[in-house]
Amino acid sequence: MPDDGTGNADYWSARLGVEPLDDAFTADVLAAALHGRSAPIKAVLLDQRRVAGVGNIYADEALFQARVHPQRPAGELTPSQIVDLRDAIVDRLQVGIAQGGASIDRYRDTLGKPGTMQGMRRHHRQDPCRPARHVPLPGMSTGRLTDIPGLRVGHWTDAQGGTGCTAVIPPRGMMGAVDVRGGGASVRETELLDPRSGAREVSAIMLSGGSAFGLASADGAMRWCEEQGIGLATGAGMLVPIVPAAVIFDLGITANLRRPGSADGYAACAAATDAPHAVGSVGAGTGATLGKWNGRDGWCKGGLGAASARLPSGHIVAVLAVVNAFGDVLDEDGSVLAGAWIDGRGFIGAAHAARTAPPQHPRLQGTNTTLLCIATNAPVGAVGAGQLARAASTGAARSISPVATSLDGDVAFALAPDGTDPPFVASVVGADVAAEAIRSAVREATTIRGVPTAAERLRRDLQQ
């Protein structure tokens, strides 16, 4: 160990950051290293004074796995992003050790053998079978709705039955709003979120499969809230929980064998935590599908996704999305990320196909839905929450095509603390966050009851 001339043999080691493979490298330690840093996150990871031993390849690989853009300011990462990034750093380094390093040039280990990590690199790999290749733009994150402090999310999932429900439980004092689009919405207590209503504080929001039958899950949420002392105080000395709800039609995948009910809504509430929640084919997204232009022969698996972003004020805006759309989900560049498929042609682009021929779906009914829940801890109040709900719907229009049609029942809920802060910035950013949450739903989806994901359709096509 080099000496600084004072006899201190630990001169250099004392200036190194925490060792990533040491038990001391926790999400909290990483958060402290990133706090207040405006430099790009990749540059901070390469600064050995912050985290020791992360080189260029492993920084790229970890950021790619955690889905954090390398140019994102380090101090803007949300708590769930930091957890994902810490886990990704450890995972990529462990894989690198197991592979003997990366011999991109002339590197050899002590036995003269080259490493093989270079063959496992995923950064910038243009693999069409890997929807996770899409890295969010600067300022964007595949965070979670629970990045909002005090907000909890819980799922009840029946993977075998192909359905589920999701409970969103905000901290006390959150005001609610809703924006309903399309012609096939199935909702409950949304009138209480009207600006003219006197009961705008929300106890919980229930999102469920099971079509209109699934609205019964809100009964269980009310029972759970009542037991927890959450609700609107009445003059009769009782609390009445305010639980707006909306559902998706997933009976086509479940064959109507299972519908979430009161007990399942209660279970989702009981499972709710403020930790990063699961995404993909879980909760209300379990039985979600999309791309139904050609019916079952060409549809893809939808799901539940999430994203978040930190505002210049330090507040956070986050979105949870359940994607069960008739149309396609579009990538950031406008290409189809997941949607209606024809073997030999690929994704056909439903909006474009509509110009030349009618859809081939045997039942053109309002059985499609995208559900959104956007939340912020910025005190924009009830009116500001209404602006956020509309912004979330704008995000849906940017990432789903066609959207809010007569066949869709698209619903956007919004939650925000009471206050008078202008909602402009939160709404502008919120629209982008909603679009990213929708994309994340299809990237994270997994096959349920034989319905293929977009990645699986692409993979099969390449194998033919």
Domain residue ranges of the chain, discontinuous segments joined by +: 13-125, 145-463
> What pLDDT, on the 0 to 100 scale, is given for residue 113?
57
Lowest-pLDDT range, 21-30, 68-77, 272-281? 68-77
Taking the alpha carbons of 389, 393, 396, 397 in that order, is the dihedral positive or negative? Answer: negative
Mean pLDDT for the chain overall: 85
- At residue 152, does pLDDT exceed 90? yes
- The CATH code belonging to domain 145-463 is 3.60.70.12
Band (450; pLDDT cuts 50, 70, 90): confident
Tens digits of residue pLDDT in 206-218: 999 999 999 999 9
> What pLDDT, on the 0 to 100 scale, is given for residue 437?
97
C-alpha separations of 329 from 39, 100, 184, 440 in Å: 33, 40, 19, 10
- At residue 191, does pLDDT exceed 80? yes
Joined tokens for residue 426: 């939160």
Tens digits of residue pLDDT in 229-280: 999 888 777 889 999 999 999 988 877 778 999 999 999 999 999 999 999 9
CA distance 317 to 147: 8
Which has the closest alpha carbon to 373: 231, 241, 277?
277
> What pLDDT, on the 0 to 100 scale, is given for residue 238?
85
CATH 2.60.40.1180 fits 13-125, yes or no: no
Tens digits of residue pLDDT in 351-404: 888 888 777 655 556 578 999 999 999 999 999 999 999 999 999 999 999 998
CA distance 58 to 353: 43
CA distance 209 to 246: 9
CA distance 30 to 11: 23
CB 386 within 8 A of CB 428: no
Band (350; pLDDT cuts 50, 70, 90): confident
Better pLDDT: 2 or 402 = 402
Query: What percentage of the chain exceeds 70 in pLDDT?
Result: 85
CA distance 408 to 324: 9
Whether omega for the bond prior to residue 312 falls within 30 degrees of 0, making it cis, is no
The model's pTM is 0.73
Tens digits of residue pLDDT in 79-138: 999 999 999 999 888 888 887 765 444 545 555 555 544 444 444 333 333 333 344 434
Alpha carbon 202 to chain centroid, angstroms: 22
- At residue 435, does pLDDT exceed 90? yes
